[in-house]
Structure 1
Amino acid sequence: MTQMKFTTVLGVLLLLAIAPIQLLAQKSYLDDADHALYKEEKYHEAIEMYKKAYVKEKGRDVKAEIIFKIGESYRLSDQTEQAEVWYEKAIIAQYADPVARLHLANMKMQNGKYDEALVEFQKYAADNPSDPRGKLGVEAAQKAQTWADNPTTYTVEPVVLINSEFYDFSPTFADKRNDELIFTSTREGSTGSDVSEVTGTNFSDLYVTQRDKKGKWSEPVLAGGEDGAVNTDASEGSATFNSRRNIMYFTRCEVEKNGYKGCKIYQAQKQGMGFGTPEEVMIASDSAVVGHPAITPDDKILIFASDLEGGQGGKDLWYIKEEGRNQWSAPINLGPEINTQGDEMFPFVRENGDLYFASNGHVGMGGLDIYMAAKKGDGQWGEVQNMKAPINSSANDFALIYQGNENRGFFTSSREGGRGKDDIWEFSEPPVIFILKGEVRDIETGEPITAAKVELVGTDGTTAEMETRSDGTFEFADKGNGEYYISPNTSYNITVSKNDYLSAKGKETTVGLDESKIFAHLYELQPITEEPIKLPDILYEFDDVKLTDQARDSLEVLYKTLVDNPTIVIELLANTDSRGSAEYNQKLSQGRAKSAVDYLVSRGIARERMIPKGMGESNLLISDEEISKLATEEEREAAHQLNRRTEFRIIGTDYVPKPEKPEVPDMEDSGEQ
């Protein structure tokens, strides 16, 4: 679907604007070839004429020009491989216009030769620094290779039952259930007996197919039957429907003996399986070419492609606003954020208002690419984003539609793997699924804990809970109804609890994630016993009760335990080694235990939940006798360090916070007399 496609469907709405060509020593035998190429768009005929003219012509410059024009004819007839060959020949023949190298680079892009295209774009940019197409081409070649090597999660495949060996493109849903598809085709059986001298196929018509309950598409037939209301001897194509699916807007390009008369947008009322008499949507003067209609979900804005004056260059996207029944505003250009010096066509507006369209002017992978711009307001859309591979390819990709709010739909592509020249492909994006799973174990024995309660609280207001299995595992996945516990763009607080164990808490978030992910957690619960629980080493200033910075970090473990378990009451035990007097060590340990409690109180823990208790040297882990038998001073010092420890013991699990006392206003400040 390049120039040929637009000749078939949109007449003079060309895909690529033909660059001005200096006609060197115009000869009469070139007249017919030039006329076939530029006036009648008979590219196959032009190729043969130019090849004959080349043999007869003697002048070097004219021969180079003919070679270039052969390349043009191949490019405009969508024969990119041959076009690449002839543009290279034109450069070798020293054709003067630098556009030959630009076209060569673009053909290499469409043929998937990104490395070679990059070289040609770099040469063009160096020779033509004022032309932005060179720099854009360099960027496109670099990004295209990256996108091809790192495709998105979309899957694509051709719709075999719909496609033919001819041109099949521009699908649109024709019913609210999205089980009826109308598309454009040049297949055999189309209305009228004339054959396009441009494509060698029938003029295009609109076809319809239905999908059964098993998802199988029926044999396509002419839309509206053979009553001639919609399909005529002209070319019809690129349709869309309003939200009620009872009005179809479509493109019709009238054909005359010597070429195309022009393209307009029509609307037709759906009547059962047929249509009423189409009426022209009055948009512009007869001299303008308009086509590719798309309508917003509220039916208030009709977007279309046109070469109207006042655009950004090439074919632009424009829109008109409804001002009354069958009354529309003057055309409004979508602006430079959407439109480029190239061509923008085949618009589609999704249910959420986002705009999708095809362009060869934005950075892409070759030929036409499909782009998306998020809705910002009525007639306003945001930054343009390339849909990347595999939606886009080095071939022409265009006319994308979504199936309602689902992440699936259809588009058209001329890539390999199809059945004909252009084919309808379907795409789908696997749903983004998040699963939270984990395992709960006893921190001391390592054994799995059965029937531990795992609770989730999401920032979206959802809650869920389940118990661990016999092997200590849990999994928040599918609820069984197609929905999932873990939602996108949500953060969760996780609480794991079990009788006779301290609770554990965690956090998880899906905010900012656009790919499926499994979150795995291991929770090790501390059993509640009468035995003290050792904390990480808590260091104090030498011979002092003052906490060091490291001690505060060590107390973070106890702080988190108290926060996660708001009903427990503890005894905080500070132990010393045996050096120094027993009385001194008792006083020192009591002071250190109190310092630890004071610090935790400063962090917001209620003082009544913690009882500081200095143990002095009364509870040595390693006796002086055992220490004296150790071989080295280093070993003996390590043993003393083990005795200098801080522990806590749980002495209650039923703490109830005291209710906060309400503030009593000062009567003098209350304003009362």
Structure 2
Amino acid sequence: MTKRTLLPLSIFIFFLGFIGHAQVDKSASKQERLVTKADEQYQNYSFSPAIDIYKRILDKGYTSADLLKKLGNSYYFNANYNEAAKIYKRLVLEFPSDVSPEYFFRYSQTLKSLGDYENANLAMSKFIEMTSEDARAKAFEGEKDYLGDIEKNSGRYNLTPFAYNSPYSDFAPSFYKEGVIFSSDRDTGNLARYRHTWNSKDFLDLYKVNVDSVSMDDVVKFGDKLNTRLHESTSITTKDGETLYFTRNNYVEGKYVKDEEGVIRLKIFKATLKDGIWTDIEELPFNSDKYSVAHPALSKDEKTLYFASDMKGTFGESDIFKVAINKDGTFGTPINLGTNINTEARETFPFVTSEDVLYMSSDGHPGLGGLDVFATNIKNGKYDGAIVNVGEPVNSKMDDFTFIFNEESRKGFFASNRAGGLGADDIYALVETIPLKLECEQQITGTVRDRITNEVLVGATVKVIDENNDEILSTITDSEGNYSLTLDCYKGNFVRALTQGYVPSEEYLEKSDSKPKIIDFYLERDKVTAGFGDDLAKLLQLSTIYFDFDKYNIRKDSELEVEKVIAAMEKYPSLKVKVNSHTDSRGRDSYNLWLSQKRAESTVNYMISKGIAKERLQGEGFGETKLMNNCSNGVKCSAADHELNRRSEFIILE
């Protein structure tokens, strides 16, 4: 996507955090003046002339972290990812201590756009290292094989270039009656006056054309009063064709309005068709001179307006919001769609289908490079569904955006700045040949048993709990202790088994493919039923408490097992235990008897130190008199076999 004031919607706020002054040698006055001039252009988002000046400074051998950041950003936000990658590479190599996480993210994005996914992933790993709590970092870590997932979704669309593209920039298609409305800067009639210095392109106007038109002459400007000398773009009309929502720069009574930083923000305007003329053009009440509101989309019942904004409450550079359209034509309060959909990067250009599928463009969710098109199911007003990359050929290494789709005809349009197009941005027509799968069903089966006896548990309940601790569904085991469940594998889920008289057990399932999975549960009784002489360790299914050779202190790997015995004694206050300790056969018999007694005492003392009353515990050492194997005196055994004999047991006394 060719970057301009209209498109990278919250770019202005984003840049405010990076605007500064390059550090230069005070003696180099001419060079200093050049830096100052470049910074002025940069601060005004005039990136094209800023690039020219920064390059001149760089070619003279001067560099700094600040200069490389601004030059890299100027390329990045003009979608010149090849040059941006070169500059960001210099930045991370020459000034590593001055690189903030966001630059590693942008560097990764530029490398993806060049097809260098190996180094892009390395840059993203550095980003994750610096900002592990960032939603983009979590999404990347949760989708390690994101390229494989994108490949699975690819090949679902046939594409053809829009017949009415120009050598300029054409994008933002919108269905309108028997044709489409779209945005373009093809009008070069006022080149000198209206050219925009963001990217040295003309300002955008709305155009329309019928799909059965046969000539470029049939492409006409849409509405005499809609287009101004600033940008108009991204429109949506109601089904009756009488109400239009569209994006425009902040423009009031023939004059543009700037914010405190000198930025012309974006606003959504509404127009009504009366006697064939678009009139009553008014901005929506939640617009502001301080932030941008843009790219409108309507729900199928036309009671909700979706849009992108960097208003207060935005998680990233721009987020997707929704707002209620009341019966009387007023609007509710905008609501952010949440962190499942929105990231710390850009989510923008929403579109909602008749089947409640939200399409949007994002560079925060794992993609191929630049902005990618994603889809998610928003039925029943829920925004927690899987965010699915629609794959190639819609998505590419460059920017892909303004996706629209008719589910009845399975046809649609989108725009891209990929190579091979006629202009800077081009519109492509698409036909869906294979429906996009937004749900992932996974079959989970298994058996629930008693952990000690291995007896199947009939009528046990098995539940699926989501990550918000809400119960999704449940079933009970049949006469053979078996169960079967179908769950959404695009989400993380807990599968929990429980029945009366037993301690519940659960297993967490991460997002996965749709391959069936077997999960067997072995439940522990919530009361220990045992008698005199039973080994509590065996009843509790503990690992054996082992000791190092010639040592009697509790090993770190055995502390957890002893803690389980302690927990059982805390749960059952009447329980008394005798600790029987043993050694291997190496060493003198008398020494081993002493050593085993010390091990018994060590175990008892450890339990006393954890709060178990002394009178509930006994300890006795048996030396090498009760070996677990044939490793007796004179028998050659491995160290592992000898270790099996250095153990403690917990015998129930009462």
TM-score for both structures, normalised by structure 2: 0.59
Ranges in structure 1 where 5+ consecutive residues have no aligned partner: 433-510, 513-673
Q: Which residue pairs with 1:366 in the alignment?
A: 369
> Compared with structure 1, are the counterparts of its residues 286 and 66 closer, same or farther at alpha carbon in structure 2 (3 Å cutoff)?
closer
Question: Does structure 1 conserve the Cα–Cα contact (< 8 Å) formed by 2:338 and 2:383?
Answer: no
Q: Distance in 1 between matches of 2:381 and 2:127?
A: 39
Which of the residues 101, 105, 118 maps onto 2:108?
105
Structure 1 9/326 Cα, relative in aligned 2: closer, same or farther at 3 Å?
farther
Residue 32 of structure 1 aligns to which amino acid in structure 2?
K
Q: Judge conservation of contact 2:153–2:390 (CA < 8 Å) in 1.
A: no
The equivalent of 2:23 in structure 1 is 25
Q: Find out whether 1:268 has 2:271 as its counterpart.
A: yes
Structure 1 letter corresponding to 2:167: E
How many angstroms apart in 2 are the aligned matches of 1:146 and 1:9? 28
**1:155 match:** 158
Structure 1 residues 32 and 86 mapped into 2: Cα distance closer, same or farther (>3 Å)? same
Residue deviations 1:1-51 (CA, integer Å, cap 9, x gap): 25x24x1457655596676477563675323222221x2111121112223
Output the amino acid matched with 2:36: D
Equivalent pairs counted in the alignment come to 420
Q: Is the 8 A contact 2:234 2:296 kept in 1?
A: yes
Q: CA deviation at 1:55?
A: 5.8
Retained in 2: the 8 A contact 1:372–1:386? yes
Aligned residue in 1 for 2:45 = 41
Deviation at 1:266, TM superposition (A): 0.9
Residue number in structure 2 paired with 1:164? 166
- Unmatched segments (≥5 aa) in structure 2: 27-31, 436-485, 488-654
TM-score, with structure 1 as normaliser:
0.57
Cα RMSD after superposing both structures = 3.1
CA distance in structure 2 between the aligned counterparts of 1:416 and 1:18, rounded to whole angstroms: 31
> In structure 2, do the counterparts of structure 1 residues 272 and 181 end up closer, same or farther at CA, with 3 Å as the change threshold?
farther
Match of 2:352 among 334, 349, 354: 349
| Contact 1:187–1:201 (8 Å) recurs in 2 | no
State whether residues 92 and 99 of structure 2, in contact with CA within 8 Å, keep that contact through their aligned partners in structure 1: no
Deviation at 1:201, TM superposition (A): 1.8
Give the conservation status (yes or no) of the 8 Å contact 1:162–1:220.
Answer: no
CA distance in 2, matches of 1:421, 1:98: 31
In structure 2, do the counterparts of structure 1 residues 126 and 336 end up closer, same or farther at CA, with 3 Å as the change threshold?
closer
* Distance change >3 Å, CA 272–CA 82, structure 1 → 2: farther
Pair 49,272 (structure 1): closer, same or farther in 2 beyond 3 Å: same
Q: Deviations over 1:51-73 (max 9, x none)?
A: 33446686xxx534323322121
Q: Offset of 1:162 from its aligned partner?
A: 1.4
CA distance in 2 between partners of 1:15 and 1:154 (Å):
36
Q: Which of the pair has more CA radius of gyration?
A: 1
CA deviation map 1:325-371 (0-9, x unaligned): 32000111111121111111111110122211111111211111111
Residue 435 of structure 1 corresponds to none
Whole-Å separation in 1 of the counterparts to 2:357 and 2:122: 35
CA deviation map 1:164-221 (0-9, x unaligned): 111111100111xxx2110000112577841111122210000001122xx7575453
* 2:251 is aligned with 1:248: no
* Segment of structure 1 superposing worse, 400-409 or 137-146: 137-146
Pick closer, same or farther for the CA change 1:64–1:140 going to 2, 3 Å.
Answer: farther
Distance 1:272 1:345, change over 3 A: farther
**Separation in 1 of the partners of 2:326 and 2:90?**
54
CA distance, structure 1, for counterparts of residue 134 and residue 348 of structure 2: 23
CA–CA distance in 1 between the matches of 2:292 and 2:217? 32
Q: How does 1:2-401 map to 2 (within 5 A)?
A: 4-5=3-4, 7-9=5-7, 13=11, 20=18, 25=23, 28-29=32-33, 30-37=35-42, 39-54=43-58, 63-95=64-96, 96-99=98-101, 100-126=103-129, 133-134=136-137, 136-137=139-140, 142-144=145-147, 147-148=150-151, 151-159=154-162, 161-175=163-177, 179-189=178-188, 193-212=193-212, 216=214, 219=217, 221-224=219-222, 227=224, 229-254=225-250, 256=256, 260-271=263-274, 274-378=277-381, 380=383, 382-401=385-404
Q: How far is the alpha carbon of 1:257 from its aligned partner?
A: 9.8
Deviations 1:610-653 (A, max 9, x none): xxxxxxxxxxxxxxxxxxxxxxxxxxxxxxxxxxxxxxxxxxxx
> Aligned in 2, Cα 1:220/1:294: closer, same or farther, shift over 3 Å?
farther
For 1:19 and 1:141, locate their aligned partners in 2 and report how far apart those are by CA, in whole Å: 31
Query: Shift of the alpha carbon at 1:93?
Result: 2.0
Residue matched to 1:591: none
Letter in 2 for 1:251: T
- My pick for the range that moved more, 43-52 or 387-396, is 43-52
Contact persistence 2:340–2:383 (CA under 8 A): no
**Cross-structure match for 1:503:** none
How far apart are the structure 1 equivalents of 2:114 and 2:13?
17
Offset at 1:405? 2.0
SS of aligned partner of 1:249? strand
Query: Deviation at 1:254?
Result: 3.5
Deviations along 1:385-441, one digit per CA (max 9) or x if unpaired, are: 111112211111111111352221101111123211111111112267xxxxxxxxx
Question: Taking structure 1 as reference, are residues 18 and 390 closer, same or farther at Cα in structure 2, changes over 3 Å only?
Answer: farther
Structure 2 contact 9–318 (Cα < 8 Å) conserved:
no
CA contact (8 A) 2:235 2:295 kept: yes
Deviation at residue 140 of structure 1 after TM alignment: 6.7
Q: Please tell me whether the aligned partners of residues 157 and 434 of structure 2 are also in contact (alpha carbons under 8 angstroms).
A: no
Instruction: Quote how far apart the aligned CAs of 1:323 are.
Output: 2.1
Secondary structure of the residue aligned to 2:312 is: coil
Question: Is contact 1:184-1:207 (8 Å) kept?
Answer: yes
On the 8 A contact 1:254/1:261 being kept in 2, the answer is: yes
**SS of residue matched to 2:385:** strand
What does residue range 489-508 of structure 1 map to in structure 2 within 5 Å?
Answer: none
- The alpha-carbon deviation at position 79 of structure 1 amounts to 0.6
AA aligned opposite 1:301: T
Is contact 2:11–2:317 with CA below 8 Å preserved after alignment? no
Q: Which SS does the other structure have where 1:121 is aligned?
A: helix
Q: 1:122, CA displacement in angstroms?
A: 3.1
- Residue 574 of structure 2 is matched in structure 1 by none
**Residue 580 (structure 2) aligns with:** none
SS in 1 for 2:118: helix
Structure 2 counterpart of 1:233, one-letter code: R
Q: Deviations over 1:495-527 (max 9, x none)?
A: xxxxxxxxxxxxxxxx99xxxxxxxxxxxxxxx
SS at match of 2:379: strand
Code of the aligned partner of 2:231? S
Equivalent AA in structure 1 for residue 194 of structure 2: D
In the TM superposition, what is the alpha-carbon distance from 1:286 to its structure 2 partner? 2.5
**Partner Cα separation in structure 1 for residue 73 and residue 281 of structure 2:** 37
> 1:378 Cα deviation (Å)?
3.7
State the Cα distance separating 1:320 from its structure 2 match. 1.1
Displacement after TM superposition at 1:285 (Å): 3.2
With over 3 angstroms needed to count, the CA separation of the structure-2 counterparts of 1:381 and 1:269, relative to structure 1, is: farther
CA distance in 2, matches of 1:223, 1:271: 18
Report if the CA contact (8 A) 1:9-1:252 is conserved. Answer: no
| Structure 2 Cα separation of the partners of residues 381 and 134 of structure 1 | 18
SS in 2 for 1:89: helix
Cα 1:307/1:124, change in 2 over 3 Å? closer
Give percent identity, aligned residues only: 29
Shift of 1:374: 1.0
Task: Rate the CA distance shift 1:25–1:383 in 2: closer, same or farther, 3 A.
Answer: same
**Alpha carbons of structure 1 residues 367 and 137: separation in structure 2 relative to 1, 3 Å:** farther
Distance, in Å, in 2 between the alignment partners of 1:77 and 1:350 is 30
For the residue of structure 2 that corresponds to 1:323, the secondary structure is coil
